[in-house]
Amino acid sequence: MTQPAPVSAVGQFPTTRMRRLRQSDWSRRLVAENHLTVDDLIWPIFLVDGDNRRVPIASMPGVERYSVDVAVEMARHAAEVGIPVLALFPATDPAKKSADGEEAINANNLVCQAVRAVKAAVPQIGILCDVALDPYTTHGQDGLVRNGYVVNDETVEMLCKQAVVQAQAGCDIIAPSDMMDGRVGRIRVALDAAGFESVQILSYAAKYASAFYGPFRDAVGSANSLGTGDKRTYQMNPANTNEALREVQLDLAEGADLVMVKPGMPYLDIVRRVKDTFAVPTVVYQVSGEYAMLLAAAQQGWLDRDKVIFESLLAFKRAGADAILTYFALEVARKLRSAGK
């Protein structure tokens, strides 16, 4: 009679063969530690003035700017496949831009028009609105510029007004991406004072001064405005990790309901540290540069499009993300639905 292996041998080859659990599809699915579902997806869409307009974005093949009526149509498609949230970003008419970005606090600006229209037509879908001034300023910075410097406290006052007009339009999630100090707490106070205690705040808590944002700035029309300028005086240094935890801690203390790490793929270590440290709802943004990079390689035949898209999104889940902003959201949701997931 064969004697059982001694305890010291358990977990060693040949008693343990890691490949046993990998040899069949059913077994790999059974022991998978992370899963991607449509509930994980937030779809960012870009808006443009006019009617019945779909304007391609050259640096983001397959992504378009939509007029409000078309955005409503796309919201219906998103809801049909179960996408929980749309994120709205405007390509502001240059004639409406100004040094102080006053169009941001116009209750009838492009974003507010779209929020009202989508909510009227597809009330079950969540709407996320970006809070920052860069789509509205002639200089392309996220805040007000005084003597060549982006000022903090005066900018925050504008952001509070912007958040309130978005909430009044029907926005469900206010997402300040500006990286001004103290803005989350001030926005929370402003929303509560205006009767919007239930509106959520998703803080872009760990937003890095990244080179991966280029196509997005093309999409919202801020690239030309920004020119050779940069945002390093307020966005985070890509060299830092501990600083990200301080940013998240401060934003949570100020009332953030969810926190974001941006960009995504180059900052998976930050996603994991944030999740492990705070155990709060953590969102990651697969930014425009990541989208463009994957798509360009796939178009050249160097990468398998579907496989790299799904692998990249699963990596965010593995790192600890609860939700993912991705321009692939509609495509991925349709594939997940067809696969019965």
Place of tokens 């009227």: 120
- 207, 231, 275, 317: which one is catalytic? 207
Structure letter (DSSP) for residue 331: H
What's the CA gap between 101 and 134, in Å, rounded?
Answer: 8
- 97, 231, 262, 317: which one is catalytic? 262
DSSP 281-310: -EEEE--HHHHHHHHHHHHTTSS-HHHHHH
CA angle, corner 27, sides to 22 and 29, nearest 5?
100
- Is 197 marked as binding a ligand? no
Phi, psi of 42 (to 5 degrees): -120, 130
Take residue 140 and report the two structure tokens written for it: 């392309």
What's the CA gap between 272 and 71, in Å, rounded?
Answer: 34
262 is catalytic: yes
Single out the residue of 41, 47, 43 nearest to residue 219, CA to CA: 47
Annotated binding residues, written as ranges, equal: 247
Annotated binding residues for Mg(2+), written as ranges, equal: 247
Catalytic residues: 207, 262
